[in-house]
């Protein structure tokens, strides 16, 4: 698979080059230390029913390319700091390895930080909508503070207010944390859209019933 990393293959395998263990197991062996997030953890925690071919991995190891392949498995790999591996994670046994997952709140924060990990802001909004129905919404504020990217609060505030899924305290907490500048609501789409002065975002994606202020 990689230098000094091997996977045992049965002698009667018809396609030895395609033989491999669980894609999560392989990723954890190659990109340790790492954790699984984005649409991969959203599906794991029931925040979405969508099935994605690629596995999303954040790693403190060096990353040469974001789109990678191990055997027949596709991955979206992004770099993160070692300190980001110290919060918002849950570990579960997979064979003889303990792999790390972004917990539900960390999953939402990660995709609001980088909507590409959800396949775009619309999927991120879906994850958020399911999350607030089943979990404590205020946890998102604490996690957002820990992450330290205030654009997260812009996207979070606009979505919870526009979709009607957030209470007054959650919206006010987001408003108190806004920074200057107008980033894109969805960086996976073209830089075209209305400016929301309330949330300091370029709203370049329509998410019903969101109506920019």
pLDDT at position 57: 98
pLDDT at position 210: 38
pLDDT at position 72: 82
pLDDT at position 213: 39
Two structure tokens written together for 8: 């045992």
Q: What is the set of domains in the chain, with CATH numbers?
A: 16-203 (3.30.460)
ω into 209 cis (within 30 of 0)? yes
pLDDT at position 212: 39
Beta strands 89-94; 97-102: pairing state: antiparallel
pLDDT at position 101: 98
Q: What is the mean pLDDT of each run of 10 residues along the chain (213 residues)?
A: 67 64 89 97 96 95 91 93 97 92 98 97 96 94 98 97 90 96 95 94 80 39
Alpha carbon distances (Å) from 180 to 151, 199, 201, 204, 205: 9, 10, 10, 18, 20
Beta strands in the chain (DSSP E): 34-36, 55-59, 67-70, 73-79, 89-94, 97-102, 194-196, 201-203
């Amino acid at each position: 698979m990689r230098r000094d990393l091997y996977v045992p293959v049965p002698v009667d395998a018809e396609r030895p080059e395609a033989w491999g263990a669980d894609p999560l197991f392989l990723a954890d062996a190659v990109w340790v230390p790492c954790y699984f997030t984005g649409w991969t953890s959203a599906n794991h925690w029931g925040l979405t029913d969508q099935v994605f071919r690629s596995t999303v991995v954040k790693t403190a190891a060096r990353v040469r390319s974001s789109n990678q392949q191990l055997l027949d498995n596709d991955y979206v790999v992004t770099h993160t700091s070692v300190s980001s591996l110290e919060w918002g994670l849950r570990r579960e046994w997979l064979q003889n390895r303990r792999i790390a997952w972004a917990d539900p709140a960390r999953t939402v924060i990660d995709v609001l930080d980088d909507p590409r990990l959800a396949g775009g802001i619309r999927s991120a909004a879906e994850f958020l909508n399911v999350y607030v129905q089943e979990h404590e919404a205020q946890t998102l504020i604490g996690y957002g503070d820990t992450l330290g990217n205030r654009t997260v609060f812009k996207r979070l505030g606009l979505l919870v207010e526009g979709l009607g899924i957030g209470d007054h305290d959650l919206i006010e907490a987001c408003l108190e944390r806004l920074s200057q500048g107008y980033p894109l609501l969805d960086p996976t789409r073209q830089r075209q859209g209305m400016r929301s002065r309330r949330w300091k975002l370029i709203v370049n994606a329509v998410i019903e019933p969101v109506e920019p202020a």
